[in-house]
């Protein structure tokens, strides 16, 4: 470990199942064997990097020397957590690469997330072949289904053993990657030769060390459409307020990016910037000022914004996340209260496009990204890599230790150029809480 790696408590070494004794039959002249990419790690990628440092990561890509013999190798794919654009594209890429590039023995689809491994649920495997997946990329969602909540890693590994699975591709968010790490730990404890490869998925874009997750670009595009609708509704009535709630439990990336795409937004609320409703620098006086000046207003809020103004809950969802208070109800109530004795009467038009956004097919750029992720994941597993995820850093696809991406969630840095651009676009920089002291 280098001095820089030690300072960040970061070891980018990727575990390998054993010596790679098989020669790949892929028709390439350039291989990723032994390649390392030196990349700059800063706070945008990893919050603990107080100043930029250069670290080397193992390159993703096909290896000439393989651990597994393809014709005797079977893999499994599972999708977990909430829906996200691009899931079917990743599944399709893995299946097509497995059959057409490597000629593998078979690919199993695990139905309904981690539940699919547990016998008592009674879910049947899906045999994934090129014919089965050939048109899956045309549709949103996941052809395998999904579920939330933890399952016992010992039962999961029992099922992998019984099914003679040699490699598992686990596609999901922060909680899913932690589950993948637990599965990898159990596989290692039993000294099994099963590769565990994660493909990070979060529509909120909040996975550590993943600057942009697949589906995020699609989510921003669909969120922008909702904002445009809210703007049209707001301008169609005297003192109209278009209120849009977007995904983002702990991070405001979608709200911020969609705001920059649609310049009609006047206020963007995110979890990282705790606003206040009334008083000097309060949101409601600023909304009133905007309405009196322009007779309409557009507010975009991430779902996790404003939690400091709402009653705390100890109740958790199936994924173990604290159930959030409803920020849109908070804002609608605050608007009603602020203007109750006013000479103007705002008309609030509320839009929550969350489930529409999650369920749509991926945009072309996201489809390309998903294809790379699926192919690189299979290349890594064939070369015996395990306990890792595929990530894209500064235009390079690399192997990242699974332990690294699960350390913490990414948050939007309110010192960043991105947030400064939002403040300039909306003009909300004078609101209290919008800028770090």
> Which residue in the list 174, 204, 206, 366 is annotated as catalytic?
204
Other Cβ atoms less than 10 A from the Cβ of 288: the count is 19
Q: Is 89 an active-site residue?
A: no
The alpha-helical segments, DSSP class H, found in 123-173 are 130-133, 153-162
- What spatial distance separates the first Cα and last Cα of the chain, rounded to whole Å? 36
- 8 Å CB contact between 52 and 4: no
Alpha-carbon span 391 to 59, nearest angstrom: 10
Phi and psi for 172 in degrees, rounded to 5? 180, -175
Alpha-carbon span 186 to 164, nearest angstrom: 16
Structure tokens of 262? 């649609």
Q: Give ∠ CA 348-349-350 in degrees, rounded to 5.
A: 110
- 8 Å CB contact between 190 and 335: no
β-strands 296-302, 347-351 pairing: unpaired
DSSP structural state of residue 182: H
The H or E element containing residue 401 is strand 396-401
**Cβ-proximal residues to 333 (8 Å cutoff; 6+ apart), any chain:** none
- Residue 128's nearest CA partner among 79, 197, 82 is 79
Q: What angle do helix axes 253-261 and 417-426 make, rounded to 10 degrees?
A: 50
3-state secondary structure 98-137: HHHHCCCCEEEEECCHHHHHCHHHCCCCEECCHHHHCCHH
Query: In sequence order, what DSSP letters do the residues of 333-399 get, joined into one string?
Result: HHHHHHTTTSS---EEEEE--HHHHHHSPPPHHHHHHHHHHHHHHHHHHHTTB-SEEEEEETTEEEE
Active site residues: 204
């Amino acid at each position: 470990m280098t001095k820089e790696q030690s300072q960040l408590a970061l070891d980018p070494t990727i575990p390998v199942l054993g010596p790679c004794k098989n020669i790949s039959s892929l028709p390439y002249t350039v291989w990723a064997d032994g390649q390392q990419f030196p990349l700059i790690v800063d706070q945008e990628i990893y919050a603990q990097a107080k100043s930029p440092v250069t670290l080397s990561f193992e390159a993703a890509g096909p290896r000439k020397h393989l651990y597994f013999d393809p014709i005797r190798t079977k893999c499994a794919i599972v999708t977990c957590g909430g829906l996200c654009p691009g899931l079917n594209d990743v599944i399709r890429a893995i299946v097509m690469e497995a059959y057409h590039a490597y000629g593998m023995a078979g690919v199993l689809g695990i139905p309904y997330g981690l539940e699919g491994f547990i016998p008592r649920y009674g879910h049947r495997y899906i045999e994934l072949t090129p014919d089965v997946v050939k048109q899956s990329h045309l549709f949103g969602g996941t052809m395998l289904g999904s579920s939330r909540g933890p399952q016992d890693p010992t039962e999961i590994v029992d099922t992998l053993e019984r099914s003679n699975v040699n490699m598992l591709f686990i596609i999901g968010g922060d909680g899913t990657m932690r589950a993948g790490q637990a599965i990898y730990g159990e596989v290692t404890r039993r000294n099994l030769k099963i590769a565990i490869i994660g493909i990070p998925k979060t529509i909120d874009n909040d996975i550590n060390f993943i600057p942009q997750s697949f589906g995020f670009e699609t989510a921003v595009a669909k969120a922008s459409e909702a904002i445009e609708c809210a703007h049209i509704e707001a301008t169609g009535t005297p003192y109209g307020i278009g209120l849009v709630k977007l995904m983002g439990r702990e991070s405001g990336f979608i709200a911020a990016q969609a705001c920059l795409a649609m310049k009609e937004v006047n206020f963007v609320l995110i979890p990282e910037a705790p606003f206040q409703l009334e008083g000097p620098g309060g949101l409601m006086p600023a909304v009133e000022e905007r309405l009196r000046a322009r007779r309409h207003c557009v507010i975009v809020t991430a779902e996790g914004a404003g939690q400091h103004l709402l009653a705390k809950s100890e109740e958790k969802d199936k994924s173990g996340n604290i159930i959030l208070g409803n920020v849109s109800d908070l804002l609608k109530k605050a608007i009603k209260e602020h203007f109750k004795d006013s000479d103007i009467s705002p008309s609030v038009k509320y839009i929550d496009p969350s489930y529409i956004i999650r369920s749509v097919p991926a945009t072309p750029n996201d489809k390309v990204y998903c294809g790379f992720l699926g192919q690189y994941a299979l290349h890594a597993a064939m070369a015996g890599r395990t306990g890792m995820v595929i990530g894209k850093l500064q235009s390079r696809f690399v192997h990242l230790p699974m332990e690294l991406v699960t350390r913490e969630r990414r948050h939007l840095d309110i010192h960043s150029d991105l947030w400064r651009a939002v403040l300039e676009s909306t003009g909300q920089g004078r609101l209290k809480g919008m800028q770090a002291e």
